[in-house]
Structure 1
Amino acid sequence: MFRAELLALPKEVPVLRRAVREYLGGGPCPDVQLCVSEIVGNVIRHLGEGTPVVVRVRGTGEGRTRVEVTDPAPGALPVRVCAAEGEECGRGLALLAAVSLRRGVRRGPGRKTVCCEVAGAYAPPGTPENAGAQEPTETRRTTGAQEAAGA
C-alpha cells in the first residue's frame, strides 16, 4: 500500500502524483493520479493550505484501485456543485464521478476519509494486489442528487 503523510499544499500535488505513479510501477495510471489530485485539491481549496492529510493507494483484490485521503475535518463533507460555463472551480467531484466506479466518505472522530475506486488493478511490480482488503465500515455513498442537496 502507498501511504504518504503531508501538508496539503499546491506545490505538493504534482510531487504526490509522481510518487503514486512511481509506486505503481511507473506506467500510466491517469485515473488514480486524477483522483489523488482532485481530492487533495479539494482539501486545499475548502480546508486551507497546510492542512495535514494522509493519502493511501491500494489494490482492492477485486480488479480495482482504491484512493483514500484523510483530513482532520469530519464536518466538512464534499458537495458536488454544477459549475457554470467558464468557471474554473466546481468540477472536481464530477471528474471523480466520471472516472470512479464508486466513491464515498467515511467519518471518524476528528477526521474524515474521502475515497474512490477506479477500474484497474494497479499494483507495484512484484507485489500481489491487496487481496482480501476490508471494505471501510462507514462509507457514505452518494448520488449526484444527494450531493446537490447537500446530503
Structure 2
Amino acid sequence: MSAPERVLPALRLDLLAFPEAVPELRRAVREWLDEPCADVQLCVTELVSNVIRHVGEGAPVRVRVARTGTHIRVEVTDPDPHTLPVLRRADAEEERGRGLSLLDAVVCRWGVDHGGEGKVVWCELACT
C-alpha cells in the first residue's frame, strides 16, 4: 500500500508587481512545494513579469499556486482586463518576447479568464 499523497492548501500571495518581488515569489513557491520546481517557478516568474511589463510596475497582483489532482495550477490575477497575453515568435535579435513561448513549452495548457475588474492568467503543469 502506498503512502497517501500530501495535500497542501493553495499558496496565495498578494503583492505589488515590482521586479524586486520576483525572487521572493520564486522562493515562496519553492518552499511551498518543498521540492525542486523550476518549471513552476518559471511560470510564476513569466506571468508576473508580464504584469510588470504590460500592465505596469506596482500593479496589485494575486498569485495562487495549487495542486489540482495530477496538476499544479498557477494563477496570476491583475486589475487590467484589456491587456491580454499573446503568444508570438521572437526574432533571434529580440531581447524580449519569449516568456509565453517558454511557458507554453512546459505547461499542459494555459489561458485567460475574465471576471470582475481584471483578469486571471493561468497555466497547468503535470505533477511529476
Pair in the same fold by TM > 0.5: yes
The equivalent residue for 1:95 is 102
Q: Secondary structure at the match of 2:28?
A: helix
Report runs of 4+ in structure 1 exceeding 2 Å deviation: none
Alignment of 1:1-150 (within 5 A): 1-25=10-34, 27-61=35-69, 63-120=70-127
Q: CA deviation at 1:75?
A: 1.2
1:78 maps to amino acid: P
Task: Specify every segment of 5 or more residues in structure 1 that has no aligned partner in the other structure, as ranges.
Answer: 122-151
Question: C-alpha distance in 2, partners of 1:4/1:98?
Answer: 25
Question: C-alpha distance in 2, partners of 1:77/1:34?
Answer: 19
Q: CA deviation at 1:80?
A: 1.5
Question: C-alpha distance in 1, partners of 2:116/2:81?
Answer: 7
Q: Secondary structure at the match of 1:14?
A: helix
- Taking structure 2 as the reference length, the TM-score comes to 0.90
- CA deviations over 1:11-45 (Å, ceiling 9, x no partner): 100110001100111x2001100000000000000
Q: Secondary structure at the match of 2:92?
A: coil
1:13 maps to amino acid: V
RMSD: 0.9
- Taking structure 1 as the reference length, the TM-score comes to 0.77
Q: CA deviation at 1:86?
A: 2.5
2:39 maps to amino acid: D
2:38 maps to amino acid: P
Aligned pairs, number? 119
Task: Specify every segment of 5 or more residues in structure 2 that has no aligned partner in the other structure, as ranges.
Answer: 1-9
